[in-house]
Amino acid sequence: MTAASANAEMIRYWNEAAGPSWVAMQERLDAQLAALGTLVRERAGIAPGERVLDVGCGCGGTTLELARAVGADGRVVAVDISAPMLERARARAAAAGLGARIEWQCADAQTARFADAGFDCVYSRFGVMFFADPPAAFTNLGRALRPGGRLAFVCWQGRERNPWMMAPALAAMQHVAFPPPPPPDAPGPFAFADAGRVREILAAAGFVDVTHEAIDQPMPLGNGGLDEALELFLAVGPVGQALREAQAGPEQRERVVAAVREALARFETPRGIEAPASAWIVTARSRGAGG
Ligand SMILES: C[S@@+](CC[C@H](N)C(=O)[O-])C[C@H]1O[C@@H](n2cnc3c(N)ncnc32)[C@H](O)[C@@H]1O
């Protein structure tokens, strides 16, 4: 992985800006995303003995689950561009006694050289929407799959269908500068909102039998209540990023905190803070030996 990589900006972002915050908030983020990660694993149908590639594995929560699912005879390769997140992942695997089943790669999944036909399944929980060149990235990932091998990932639907992220961001925007909205297809959390675009990318990369399953379920943002959810939003995602980039002073920060708190308060439920969220679970197969 070099600074000259096609994904240089993302490499900087996930190492210097977002990575350390994700490490600090790892337990809460895992709790937030766990149900969706489990659903993808079920849809992927991971079986004992299989070889699985976990793309954008982050702090390794999904990698540990995959390592348990493939068992002692299976193997998981986990790839990510973020050194601090991989360090946390490695430590968790060692603590769980699963280190021997997992190989970690600090690399750009768009260009990394994986074993040809070396995997039964390519899996990802929100780790595939950041590629500068998605057709090239999925061609590379397809090459790593055996003929007929499975691809299964979860990605976000559109901004308008994800108030859990957009409501706090829109509230913060009144008080701190945000970058201009990126084009809808730009690399980032919502890059794969358009199911038609994803089908085209996957077809161009040699995948067949592409399916999209809409998952609309509330996102748990902190069962410790408002303060817990607020802390998370001020650290990660677009609000955390805007605060870091603006180098907000105490007064400006206070205004942002009040606005985000008010936005999150609308999502209070007896179970904690839960906001509407919509994701796609995408599955596909690499073309079989017969084409
Ligand atoms: C939203 S986080 C999800 C992390 C993890 N999958 C989870 O669910 O907790 C996105 C992850 O994708 C990684 N990532 C982004 N672009 C990547 C690339 N080109 N190659 C490998 N990993 C990448 C980031 O470093 C980050 O860890």
Give every CB contact of residue 175 below 8 A, 6+ residues apart in sequence. Answer: 252, 255, 256, 259
In this structure, the residue with its CA closest to atom 1 of ligand 1 is: 126
Ligand 1 proximity of 84 Cβ (cutoff 6 Å): no
Check residue 2 and give its pLDDT.
53
Confidence (pLDDT) at 77: 98
Euclidean distance between CA atoms 59 and 49, whole angstroms = 23
Q: At residue 117, what are phi and psi to the nearest 5 degrees?
A: 50, 30
* Backbone dihedral angles phi then psi of residue 290, each to the nearest 5 degrees: -80, -5
Ligand 1 mean position, distance from CA 270 (Å): 32
Residue 4: per-residue pLDDT: 56
The DSSP result for 137-182, as a single string, is HHHHHHHHEEEEEEEEEEEE--GGG-HHHHHHHHHHTTTS--PPPP
Looking at residue 289, its pLDDT comes to 59
d(CA 252, CA 104): 41
**pLDDT at residue number 241:** 86
Per-residue model confidence (pLDDT) at position 3? 46
Low-confidence ranges of the chain (pLDDT < 50): 3
Q: What is the pLDDT of residue 235?
A: 87
Distance 19 CA to ligand 1 centre (A): 9
Q: How many other CB atoms are found less than 10 A from the CB of residue 160? A: 10
Q: CATH class for domain 1-157+193-218+278-291?
A: alpha beta
Q: What's the rounded Cα separation, in Å, for the pair 157 and 255?
A: 30
> Which ligand 1 atom is nearest residue 15's CA?
25
Atom of ligand 1 nearest to the CA of 187: 16
Q: Is 33 in the pocket of ligand 1 (CB under 6 A)?
A: yes
Q: Which atom of ligand 1 is nearest to the CA of 189?
A: 1
Asked if residue 58 has its Cβ within 6 Å of ligand 1, the reply is: yes
